[in-house]
Amino acid sequence: MLMQTDTVLEVERLSKLYSRALGVTRQRLAVTFGRMLLGWTPKPLDNIQKGEFWSLKDVSFSLKRGEALGVIGFNGAGKTTLLRLLAGQLLPDEGEVRILGNSAAMIDLTAGFQMTASGERNIFLRGAMLGRSKEEMAVTYDEILDFAELGDAIEAPVSTYSSGMLMRLAFSIMVAMRPDMLFIDEILSVGDFRFRQKCLSRIREMRDQAAFVLVSHSMSNIKLFCDRAIVLHEGRVAFEGVPEEAIRIYEEMKFPQAVSQEAKRSEILQPQFHNEKVVEQVEHYWCNADGQPISEIRSGEALYLKASFKTNHRPRNLILGVPVWTEEGGYVTGFSTELQDEPMNITPEQRTTFLLKIPNLSFNPGVYLSNFGIADGPEFLYRGDNPTLTVLTVQARFWGMVTLPHSWRMLICNEE
Partner 1 sequence: MPHEENRTRIIRPDSRMTEGSMQAIRHLLSEIWTFRSHIKIVFKEQFRAAYAGTGLGLFWNYVLPLVPLTVYWFLSKVRVFPNFEGVDSATFLTFGVTLWFLFIGCVQTPIQVVQSRNKEAMKTSFPLSASIVAGFATLLFDTLVRCALVTIVVATTQSWPTWQSLMLPVALFPALLLFIGVGLFLGILNVIYNDVSRIVNIVLQYGIFVSGVIFPLYDTGLLSTMNLFNPFAVFIDACRAIVFQGAIENFSAYLAMTGIALIMFVLSCRAFFIMEYRIRGIT
Nearer to partner 1, 25 or 388 (CB): 25
Q: Of 43 and 357, which CB lies nearer to partner 1 in the complex structure? A: 43
Contact with partner 1 (CB under 8 A): which of 53, 64, 76, 101?
101
Which helix (H) or strand (E) element contains residue 120?
A: helix 119-129
DSSP 3-state of 387? coil
Pairing of strands 68-73, 211-215: parallel
DSSP result, 144-185 = HHHHHT-GGGGGSBGGGS-HHHHHHHHHHHHHHT--SEEEE-
Using CB under 8 A as the binding rule, whether residue 60 contacts partner 1 is answered as: no
Q: Could you say whether residue 185 binds partner 1 (CB under 8 A)?
A: no
The residue (of 79 and 264) whose beta carbon lies closer to partner 1 is 79
CA distance 36 to 89: 20
**Minimum separation from the CB atom of position 93 to partner 1 (A):** 6
CB 296 within 8 A of CB 278: no
Asked if 128 is part of the footprint of partner 1 (rule: CB under 8 A), the reply reads yes
Amino acid at site 148: A
Q: Which of 112, 191, 243, 315 binds partner 1 (CB under 8 A)?
A: 112
Binding-site size, partner 1 (CB under 8 A) = 49
Point out which span in 98-106, 278-286, 350-358, 400-408 binds partner 1 (CB under 8 A). 98-106
Nearer to partner 1, 95 or 373 (CB): 95
Looking at 102, 270, 292, 317, which residue binds partner 1 (CB under 8 A)?
Answer: 102
88 belongs to the binding site for partner 1 (CB under 8 A): yes
CB of 13 to partner 1, least distance (A): 10
Give CA–CA dist 366/364, Å, rounded. Answer: 6
3-state SS assignment for residue 392? strand
Q: Is 294 in the site for partner 1 (CB under 8 A)?
A: no
In the complex, what is the shortest distance from the CB of residue 57 to partner 1, in angstroms, rounded to a whole number?
14
Single-letter amino acid code for the residue at 269: L
Is 125 exposed, middle or buried (CB count within 10 Å of its CB: 0-12, 13-18, 19+)?
A: middle
Amino acid at 63: L
Give the CA count within 13 Å in the CB-facing half-sphere of 86: 37
Q: Which residues pair with 11 in a beta bridge?
A: 61, 97
Shortest Å distance, C-beta 98 to partner 1: 5
Among residues 59, 130, 213, 231, the one that binds partner 1 under rule CB under 8 A: 130
Return d(Cα 398, Cα 80) in angstroms, integer. Answer: 39
Among 63, 68, 69, 104, the residue binding partner 1 under the rule CB under 8 A is: 104
Run of H or E including 246 = helix 243-254
Instruction: Give the chain's length.
Output: 416
Shortest Å, Cβ 101 to partner 1: 6
Q: Which of 77, 99, 199, 210 binds partner 1 (CB under 8 A)?
A: 99
Strand partners, 184: 106, 214
Rounded Cα gap, residues 205 and 168, in angstroms: 17
Q: Note whether 84 binds partner 1 by CB under 8 A.
A: yes
Interaction between residue 124 and partner 1 (CB under 8 A)? yes
Residue 81: CB minimum distance to partner 1, A: 10
Q: State the Cα angle at 140 between 109 and 177, rounded to 5°.
A: 50
Output phi, psi for 303, to 5 deg.
-115, 140
Q: Does 54 bind partner 1 (CB under 8 A)?
A: no
Write the interaction track for partner 1 spanning residues 17-46; mark x where CB under 8 A is met and - where it is not.
Answer: -----x--xx--xx-xx--xx---xx----
Residue 108 binds partner 1 (CB under 8 A): yes
Residue 255 and residue 328 in contact, taking contact as beta carbons nearer than 8 Å: no
Query: Which of 24, 90, 253, 344 contacts partner 1 by CB under 8 A?
Result: 90
Contact between 200 and partner 1 by CB under 8 A: the answer reads: no
Q: How far is the CB of 187 from partner 1 (least distance, A)?
A: 13
Where along the sequence are the contacts to partner 1 (CB under 8 A)? 3, 22, 25-26, 29-30, 32-33, 36-37, 41-42, 84-105, 108, 110-114, 116-117, 121, 124-125, 128-131
